[in-house]
Structure 1
Amino acid sequence: MDLTLLYRGPLASCDYDCPYCPFAKRRDTGEQLRADRAALERFTHWAGQQTGDRLSILFTPWGEGLVRSWYRDALTGLSLMPHVRRVAIQTNLSGRTGWLAGADLDTLALWCTYHPGQTPYDRFLAKCRDLAARGVRFSVGVVGRPEHLDAARRLRADLPDHVYLWINAAEGHTYTDEEAGRWTDLDPLFPYSRHPHASAGLPCRTGESVVSVDGEGTVRRCHFVPAPLGNLYDGGFRAALRPRPCPLAACDCHIGYVHLNTLPLYDVFAGGVLERIPATVPAPGERLTLV
């Protein structure tokens, strides 16, 4: 079967301290890091054995994974497995990039976020240009806070045209139409992020072909619905996979609402759902008819 897994282990430490980020507020101890490594290696071993499936895997750690060798090793190893269609990770791109030389770049992709004030602009841009020169599939994004607008405009101007710049609506911020228009000029798909999507009772691929997995192997339909479906490692979750409506009133995170059947985002991001790369990168300033 085709199965998409969103993996989030116990790692919670980050080399950044963004004031707007609800994550990464813990400095992991050596014991916690060893536990995270063991959990990730167990998951990677399990994935390697599922040769009867076609797997797509997105790592969504609370902290920054690519500064840890075991995440780089996992991405490289998974990318080389014939039954893995895509493996991607959300990253601030602060770590080294040389390890990518050992990965299958037809399979691996990166979802990168620029955090103004946390890293020099020129350093981040140089990392992006390095990825482009290596032929890595990647998207780049910014949280749409008012103080980030100039940096986002500069980034859009300096990135290669084929690199999609996405804008995430800032949590808790209400956008006027004028403000939203400025962000939409940079990311024509920003209107999908601007407002939470009503989801109660609507069909969603999560729980059927998309699941969330934690470090213990507990499988849930997505990161935002706590009810377990079973455990990855005893295989019990498979019997629970089926179409099911969303139990939440609304979904306001891209890694959640992208899977709603009622939105056209599987067509918009065809071939790049996990790494947030549209099938056709819209031109800055382009106005799209969104449904």
Structure 2
Amino acid sequence: MSAPMDLTILYRGPLASCDYDCPYCPFAKRRDSTERLRADRAALERFTGWAGRQSGDRLSVLFTPWGEGLVRSWYRGALVALSHQPHVGRVAIQTNLSCRTDWLADADLGTVALWCTYHPGQTPYERFLAKAHRLAGLGVRFSVGIVGLPEHLDDARRLRAALPGHVYLWVNAAEGRTYTDEEAGLWTALDPLFPYSRHPHRSAGLPCRTGESVISVDGDGTVRRCHFVRAELGNLYDGSYRAALSPRPCPLAVCDCHIGYVHLETLPLYDVFAGGVLERVPAAASGSGGLGRAGGLR
């Protein structure tokens, strides 16, 4: 019998459709066939059933679909079901928050969490803000973010001013964009952690928790160390992955995505996000001081 473990799982099934049309996303307005949606639902239900049976381990789960998951009932159901499992410490999902929020009333709010992204031009600002306030009123753990494009700066400032003070507003550096110090300063004034996103992180040969206590799983149950390294470690459902888990250096030159570099042991982000790594909620945002509106952690 395998020894108990604390395991963080990033799950990404076949879903690749989204209801938004963001120009910076390759999956904008993509539609999945009925067959693909059925396959995605079956894969997710298989994963949820497996996770529910792992009572000997301590699990944390982040759903990172290419598309928008919460408009699909099976993702909402999976979050609710896993949130009530005593061996699941956290279950979270990345979402554009276009879905309704009433389903959260059935979830354990001590376990479920949302990583929300605001996409200007895709949804009315007031509608998104109202949903964010609704989440806060319900007591849901969540963060809100935006892509750091110049045309988004005013929206980001308006959003930061209107969100509850304890809600962390993160800014992702736009892919392929180089920021001047002046530009970076504008974004850092909104998100004091933006400097971690500004530049890709050198990772080659450096220790990373992925492949040891963090894994990536696809719809077939194939286990990899993370979404960005294609080498397979085994399969989730036959248990073959467990023997492959061990400390290992990163094989890539750089890591430029938060869901990857947050796990680098050379960065302090497990301390920065203590208790909120999956939903991107800094520990300071959970305290009485919160995140300063002027941009400083306090």
Question: What TM-score comes out, normalization by structure 1 length?
Answer: 0.98
2:127 aligned residue (112, 123, 126): 123
Kindly indicate whether residue 20 of structure 2 is the aligned counterpart of residue 11 of structure 1.
no
3-state SS of 2:230 partner: strand
Check the 8 A contact 1:24/1:62 in 2, yes or no.
no
Check the 8 A contact 2:161/2:293 in 1, yes or no.
no
Kindly indicate whether residue 197 of structure 2 is the aligned counterpart of residue 193 of structure 1.
yes
Count of paired positions: 288
Quote the residue 2:114 is aligned against.
110
Check the 8 A contact 1:12/1:24 in 2, yes or no.
no
Check the 8 A contact 1:40/1:70 in 2, yes or no.
yes
Distance 1:238 1:161 in 2: 41
3-state SS of 2:283 partner: coil
Quote the residue 2:288 is aligned against.
none
Residues 24 and 212 (structure 1), Cα distance of their counterparts in 2 relative to 1, 3 Å cut: farther
Quote the residue 1:284 is aligned against.
293
Offset at residue 287 of structure 1 (A): 4.9
Check the 8 A contact 1:188/1:283 in 2, yes or no.
no
Distance 2:223 2:155 in 1: 38
Quote the residue 2:87 is aligned against.
83
Offset at residue 23 of structure 1 (A): 3.0
Offset at residue 26 of structure 1 (A): 2.7
2:41 aligned residue (30, 37, 41): 37
Kindly indicate whether residue 193 of structure 2 is the aligned counterpart of residue 184 of structure 1.
no
Quote the residue 1:59 is aligned against.
63
Report the AA paired with residue 105 of structure 2.
Answer: A
Distance 2:39 2:30 in 1: 15
Check the 8 A contact 1:188/1:285 in 2, yes or no.
no
1:68-103 CA-to-partner distances (Å, cap 9, x unmatched) read 000000000000000000000000000010000000
Check the 8 A contact 2:12/2:65 in 1, yes or no.
yes
Check the 8 A contact 2:19/2:30 in 1, yes or no.
no
Distance 1:286 1:65 in 2: 31
2:211 aligned residue (198, 207, 210): 207
Quote the residue 1:275 is aligned against.
279
Offset at residue 283 of structure 1 (A): 1.5
Offset at residue 227 of structure 1 (A): 0.4
1:232-265 CA-to-partner distances (Å, cap 9, x unmatched) read 0000000000000000000000000000000000
1:186-220 CA-to-partner distances (Å, cap 9, x unmatched) read 00000000000000000000000000000000000
Check the 8 A contact 1:75/1:87 in 2, yes or no.
yes
Check the 8 A contact 1:12/1:25 in 2, yes or no.
no
Quote the residue 2:32 is aligned against.
28
Report the AA paired with residue 285 of structure 1.
Answer: A
What RMSD in Å do the two structures reach over aligned CA positions? 0.9
Report the AA paired with residue 66 of structure 1.
Answer: L
Offset at residue 25 of structure 1 (A): 5.4
Residues 110 and 29 (structure 1), Cα distance of their counterparts in 2 relative to 1, 3 Å cut: same
Quote the residue 2:227 is aligned against.
223
Unaligned runs of 5+ in 2: 286-290
Structure 1 vs Structure 2: percent identity of aligned residues? 82
Distance 2:82 2:258 in 1: 24
3-state SS of 1:280 partner: helix
Quote the residue 1:92 is aligned against.
96
Report the AA paired with residue 106 of structure 2.
Answer: G
Check the 8 A contact 1:8/1:59 in 2, yes or no.
yes
**Stretch moving more, 20-29 or 161-170:** 20-29
Check the 8 A contact 2:206/2:249 in 1, yes or no.
yes
Kindly indicate whether residue 138 of structure 2 is the aligned counterpart of residue 138 of structure 1.
no
Offset at residue 17 of structure 1 (A): 1.1
Distance 1:94 1:236 in 2: 38
1:169-192 CA-to-partner distances (Å, cap 9, x unmatched) read 000111000000000000000000
3-state SS of 1:111 partner: strand
Offset at residue 151 of structure 1 (A): 0.2
Report the AA paired with residue 204 of structure 1.
Answer: C
Check the 8 A contact 1:145/1:170 in 2, yes or no.
yes
2:76 aligned residue (64, 72, 77): 72
Unaligned runs of 5+ in 1: none
Residues 223 and 60 (structure 1), Cα distance of their counterparts in 2 relative to 1, 3 Å cut: same
Distance 1:175 1:103 in 2: 40
